[in-house]
Amino acid sequence: MSPDARKTVRRSRCVMTEIILPNDTNNLGNMMGGRLLYLMDKAAAISALRHANRTCVTASVDSVEFQSPIRQGEVVVIESQVNRVFRTSMEVELNVWAEDTRAQTRRICNRAFYTFVAVDDEARPVPAPPIFPETPEEHERYEAAARRRELRLMLAGRLKLQDVEHLRDDLLELVRQRG
């Protein structure tokens, strides 16, 4: 990969594949949540590093729901990519699949959004390079990332309601619907 090629979403992509063994599971034979979160954090970090090409730290993890248990013997596939870069921070999206290799089926198990921040050697935030979405899906995720960012910064107490820009129409629509 040429170091000066355009920084696309594709270049940040990471696919992590692991087989679930007894050591990874609870008494029910299902993968433990903490083990999955550990792998998700690693995959997200790889995407952030592939994009920023410098140290990146986890700033936040949006709510994670475990929709479907992953069973011993199944293969877990974690796909991650940078959706959007703001200034120093990046939104990384993760999609987790469980693969039953006997039945040759795959089901989605969870989706999560991590925020990573590019930092210098003193752990101070520094700007990350811009990212270029290419496909219609990547453009959609790019747009949606701005709204999610506002919501997470509001929840973290870092953004006031009056400073919301991208989320404003969604909030007004919600207020209108609720009467």
Ligand X SMILES: CC(C)(COP(=O)(O)OP(=O)(O)OC[C@H]1O[C@@H](n2cnc3c(N)ncnc32)[C@H](O)[C@@H]1OP(=O)(O)O)[C@@H](O)C(=O)NCCC(=O)NCCS
Which residues of the shown chain bind ligand X in the complex (CB under 6 A)? 57-60, 86-89, 115, 117, 119, 123, 125, 152-153, 156, 158
User: Are 101 and 77 in contact, with CB atoms under 8 Å apart?
Assistant: no
User: Are 56 and 82 in contact, with CB atoms under 8 Å apart?
Assistant: no
CB of 59 or CB of 75, closer to ligand X = 59
CB of 25 or CB of 89, closer to ligand X = 89
CB of 73 or CB of 125, closer to ligand X = 125
Shortest spacing between CB 50 and ligand X, in angstroms: 18
Q: How far is CA 91 from the centre of its chain?
A: 6
* Other C-beta atoms lying within 10 Å of the C-beta of residue 132: 14
Helices in the chain by DSSP H: which ranges? 33-52, 136-155, 168-178
Shortest spacing between CB 174 and ligand X, in angstroms: 22
CB of 2 or CB of 63, closer to ligand X = 63
Rounded CA-CA distance 12/23 in Å is 30
Shortest spacing between CB 67 and ligand X, in angstroms: 23
Shortest spacing between CB 27 and ligand X, in angstroms: 27
